[in-house]
């Protein structure tokens, strides 16, 4: 199996300069793949969706949040096109609005407004006709999200963790995988077949025999068949992308085909079999202390990722379940978990994203900018101008996106501390690279700072016994899974697939029970 892993990795890394890579190692005196930071054996990446720092933690009075007036309420406003002021306001429900706010490439740049951060209301007026422009100015508080507030107060909070670009989910998650979006600016996954010339972090891990897994909520057989019969050519993606923007229901159907982060670059059949595990397998691995060296734990993107219009309580409950599984598992003494968000979801944040190092020479590009019959057809239908407004390819990858919540959860976290170091998603890559002496993938992660100032490796761990945290407002579902079909159990026993969460006929996916194991003393 290791031979096949290395063969797949060699293909993904075939354009890299080996000599340059050796010179760029964190410690050039040691061979790549050398393990450092002996206190950390497992890095867990729990990336949720679509909320800014101020949207969740701005009123926590811990880290830089929103300014408040003498009345104790936020003093921030954005202005509508007609001059009406829209103040920051507390939402009266945890169920989000559907379709607003928006974090599209164009909307995010309108919100940024050349650093003024005053375009959140205007972004709805300009890109979502008929949408409620006051929604981006809403926020939640500790009373709404008690577990998240307790997590941020207890462990080490980052109040300068920015998403990697001013854009939506897929480009930002690509940065987490490869330190580049490779030109992508939209969230339409149909037919994404491009692969970064510099490879992905999974290529580096496989090259040097470092274990990794993406835990997810998709049936193993669905994932297997999807990679057995992969999507079409790039030209087909252009057609689907254009159609999806004209007929939004196509977008939702296409997005459902991406249910794990690792698939945002073509994953391939072998890696599907080798490196995907379902969420129940995560619970078992965490309890047994057998998590891989690196893992991504994905929420169910249709139910508990916290994207609108979901109830944010579902995502908080899921995240609490994951963190509880890690902190009460046998591998906890040597684990570092990062809880963070792929992007801001279109919600207000008051800190202007700083300039960033461009990852490579690939510029942001909308496939709608291609010529041919699609352009002619959409112009004839009067749709072209609308599509350009929503999916413009203008700009560069030389600026971070907005701040997102981020906490490092580890026995070595600094209790109750706030780090104001500038991080982005490639900081997680930099941590992995420093841990295993791996070269950077692009110029972006080469310039990134690993979140090592959020932990203290020079003192005894403060949280070897995990501290109690407030319960989430709504616990993640607590009913057991039904028995899986025999072929799935055989694949699981062989270590090729995890256990799928397959909904019963006419119903929704059954929830999962996690019982924290007893900790040996």
* Band (366; pLDDT cuts 50, 70, 90): confident
Closest CA to 297 of 323, 268, 328: 323
Query: H-helix or E-strand containing 157?
Result: strand 156-158
Positions of E strands within 184-285: 212-216, 276-278
Quote the pLDDT of residue 188. Answer: 61
* Band (219; pLDDT cuts 50, 70, 90): low
pTM, two decimals, is: 0.86
- For the chain, give the mean pLDDT: 85
Residue 451 has pLDDT above 80, yes or no: yes
Closest CA to 205 of 140, 276, 295, 277: 295
Sign (positive or negative) of CA dihedral 31, 34, 37, 43: positive
Residue 492 has pLDDT above 50, yes or no: no
| Terminal alpha carbon distance of the chain | 36
Quote the pLDDT of residue 234. Answer: 39
Per the omega criterion (within 30 degrees of 0), is the bond before 420 cis?
Answer: no
* Band (493; pLDDT cuts 50, 70, 90): very low
* Band (239; pLDDT cuts 50, 70, 90): very low
Quote the pLDDT of residue 379. Answer: 67
Strand partners for 78 = 86
Domains and CATH numbers, the chain: 2-493 (3.40.720.10)
Q: Are 140 and 91 in contact (CB under 8 A)?
A: yes
Q: Torsion over CA of 264, 268, 270 and 272, rounded to 10 degrees?
A: 40
What is the percent of the chain with per-residue pLDDT over 90, rounded to a whole number? 71
Closest CA to 12 of 194, 184, 257, 276: 194
Each residue's pLDDT tens digit, 240-291: 444 544 444 444 444 444 678 988 998 888 898 899 999 999 999 999 999 9
Lowest mean pLDDT among 25-29, 268-272, 329-333: 268-272
Residue 360 has pLDDT above 90, yes or no: yes
Quote the pLDDT of residue 378. Answer: 55
Quote the pLDDT of residue 381. Answer: 59
pLDDT, mean of residues 285-300: 97
pLDDT, mean of residues 48-69: 97
* Band (226; pLDDT cuts 50, 70, 90): low
- 100 vs 518, more confident: 100
């Amino acid at each position: 199996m290791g031979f096949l892993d290395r063969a797949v990795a060699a293909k993904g890394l075939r354009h890299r300069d080996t000599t340059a890579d050796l010179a760029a190692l964190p410690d050039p005196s040691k061979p790549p793949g050398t393990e450092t930071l002996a206190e950390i054996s497992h890095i867990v990446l729990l990336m949720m969706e679509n909320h800014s720092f101020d949207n969740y933690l701005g009123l926590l009075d811990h880290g830089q949040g929103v300014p408040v007036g003498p009345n104790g309420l936020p003093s921030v406003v954005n202005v509508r096109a007609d001059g009406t002021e829209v103040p920051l306001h507390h939402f009266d429900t945890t169920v989000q609005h559907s379709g607003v706010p928006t974090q599209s490439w164009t909307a995010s740049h309108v919100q940024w407004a050349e650093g003024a951060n005053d375009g959140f209301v205007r972004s709805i007026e300009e890109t979502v006709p008929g949408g409620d422009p006051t929604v981006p100015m809403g926020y939640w508080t500790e009373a709404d999200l008690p577990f998240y507030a307790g997590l941020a107060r207890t462990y080490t909070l980052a109040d300068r963790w920015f998403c990697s670009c001013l854009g939506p989910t897929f480009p930002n998650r690509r940065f987490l995988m490869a330190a580049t979006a490779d030109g992508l600016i939209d969230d339409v996954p149909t037919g994404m077949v491009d692969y970064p010339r510099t490879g992905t972090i999974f290529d580096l891990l496989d090259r040097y025999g470092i274990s990794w897994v993406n835990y997810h909520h998709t049936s193993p057989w669905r994932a297997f068949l999807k990679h057995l019969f992969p999507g079409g050519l790039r030209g087909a993606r252009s057609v689907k992308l254009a159609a999806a923007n004209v007929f939004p229901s196509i977008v939702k159907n296409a997005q459902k085909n991406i249910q794990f982060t690792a698939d945002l670059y073509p994953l391939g059949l072998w890696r599907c079999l080798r490196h995907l595990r379902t969420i129940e397998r995560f619970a078992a691995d965490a309890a047994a202390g057998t998590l891989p060296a690196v893992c991504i734990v994905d929420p169910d993107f249709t139910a508990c990722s916290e994207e609108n219009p979901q109830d944010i309580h579902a995502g908080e409950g899921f995240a609490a379940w994951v963190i509880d599984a890690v902190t009460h598992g046998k591998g906890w003494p040597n684990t570092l978990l990062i809880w963070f968000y792929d992007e801001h979801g279109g919600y207000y944040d008051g800190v202007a994203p700083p300039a960033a190092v461009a990852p490579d020479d690939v510029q942001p590009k909308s496939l709608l900018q291609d010529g041919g019959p699609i352009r002619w057809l959409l112009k004839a239908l009067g749709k072209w101008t609308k599509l350009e407004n929503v999916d413009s390819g203008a700009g560069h990858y030389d600026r971070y996106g907005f701040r997102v919540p981020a906490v490092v959860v580890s026995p070595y976290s600094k209790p109750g501390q706030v780090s104001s170091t500038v991080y982005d998603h490639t900081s997680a890559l930099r941590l992995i690279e420093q841990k295993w002496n791996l070269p950077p993938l692009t110029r972006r992660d080469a310039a990134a700072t690993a979140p090592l100032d959020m932990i203290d490796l020079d003192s005894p761990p403060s949280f070897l016994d995990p501290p109690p945290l407030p319960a989430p407002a709504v616990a993640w579902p607590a009913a057991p899974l039904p028995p899986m079909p025999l072929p799935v159990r055989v694949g699981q026993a062989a270590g090729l697939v995890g256990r799928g969460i397959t909904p019963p006929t006419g119903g929704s996916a059954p929830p999962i029970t996690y019982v924290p194991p007893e900790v040996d003393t």
